[in-house]
Amino acid sequence: MVSHEGLGLLSRLFDGQEQRTASVLPAEMAVFEHFAGEQLGAEAEDMLIPFAYEETLCRDIGAGAVPPSLHLWSHPGGVALGLRDSKLPLAAAAMAELEGAGIRTAVRHSGGAAVPLDAGIVNVSLILPKAPGKLDFHDDFRLLASLIAEAAAVSHPQAAARIRAGEIAGSYCPGDFDLAIGGRKFCGIAQRRQSSAYFVHAFVVVSGSGQERGELIRGFYETASGGDESLVYPRVRPETIAALGELGGPDAAAVFAAGIRQAAASRGVQLTSAAQLRQETGYDLQYSDHRVLEAAEILRERYAR
């Protein structure tokens, strides 16, 4: 169930038109966390490892080996491209330019276009088993959008009350479920499906400069396109991007992550930490797991330009 306060946020988020069709969270969920700066091993530097981890976890959830899950993570610094981005004529040169500046690059398998990843960006994934019948991913987009708004409201209710959903023209990776305050985007949402499970993923710009990140992505497109205005790619205007901290919201990854956990608990979800799950069931999926490393290589081969 959504709390009374949560229903109010949801109504404002979608201007009172969409909340009736939002999905609900499972009653029990496992929580896996991997944040930049923690002792995660050398594998964590690889841009594809978090995505490969979720691919592996998604398969396990589909097989019933682990409960529906929440994955919270960040990467020390990189740019994740969409598949269409990687097909731009000078994409390889643009990626090499970023790598030369110490910014990792990879092509991701979920929908969307290029986004930056760094310690100030919290990635939030809901990984869920597929129920029988038709899957409407818009319902789950609304679910994750509302959860993010409720997470911001835990520490900064006034800022959260101003969050609106809707595409922000000029932002990187624009979409119908962009989340913004005052017309400046801080979050985008994408999804990925497998045969028995799926995940809905959001990147949330929490701290740092949104404009600087926008300039980074705009620079990538300027190089990758070779200046060809006839090509289809996002025309990024950096001023349309902001961090939650710049918009009056939480300005630390740890604060926002705590808000996500509290928002889920407020909906009546029983959360089980990875450590507790390992103790109770023996399930212990790590970034260094051979299945995760193999999945990363498959993604690299499949989505490499």
Catalytic positions, please? 173
Strand partners, 180: 164, 185
d(CA 247, CA 96): 33
d(CA 28, CA 105): 35
Provide the token pair at 216. Answer: 């980074």
d(CA 16, CA 10): 7
- β-pairing, 184-193 vs 197-205, is antiparallel
Which phi and psi (to 5°) does residue 63 adopt? Answer: -85, -5
Q: Which residue has the tokens 């097909």?
A: 87
